[in-house]
Amino acid sequence: MNSVVIYGSRHGNTRKVAEAIAGELGQYGRVQVMSADDAPDYLPVPTDLVVVGGPTEAHRMTEPMTKFFARVPNGGMAGIAAAGFDTRVRWPRILSGSAGAGIVARLRSRGASVIAKEESFFVTGVTPSHVDDPVLEPGELERAAAWAASLAAKLESLQRAVEV
């Protein structure tokens, strides 16, 4: 399996989650990790799975993520399995928003086949009136690795079904 993990990160938390995801996906094949700023308009060939994530700010994706998706043409991810994630505070989603939801919508609009619901990984250090440097909650990197393993298993199952 050839995977690409693309992330946007302001405080380093989303990068850490992306690296945990990539570390797990590396057990299933080749994986490349890159920031949204450095990601190409077209994914390397062959790419079986793309995982894209970014922080949630002001209820949505950050500018680096929106710029990345603006560069990728419609249909530019056709035939590629995909999943999206975000990092955000552990507030009710109606209060925090979710960059992951926007990421998944843009993956679909670029032709990717989304194989899982968006996932959120949680940070602390943010209150409604003040933002300190947020940090990942304990256990989130392990949860990210487990999520990546579930993505790999799902993709392998889908690929076997196509071969039959």
What are 69-94's pLDDT values in tens digits? 999 999 999 999 999 999 999 987 88
What are the residue ranges spanned by the domains of the chain? 2-163
Q: Is the pLDDT of residue 133 over 60?
A: yes
Q: Report the CATH superfamily, name and number, of domain 2-163.
A: Flavodoxin domain (3.40.50.360)
| DSSP secondary structure, 4-71, as one string | EEEE--SSSHHHHHHHHHHHHHTTSSEEEEEETTT--SSPPSS-SEEEEEEE-BTBB--HHHHHHHHH
Q: Is the pLDDT of residue 5 over 70?
A: yes
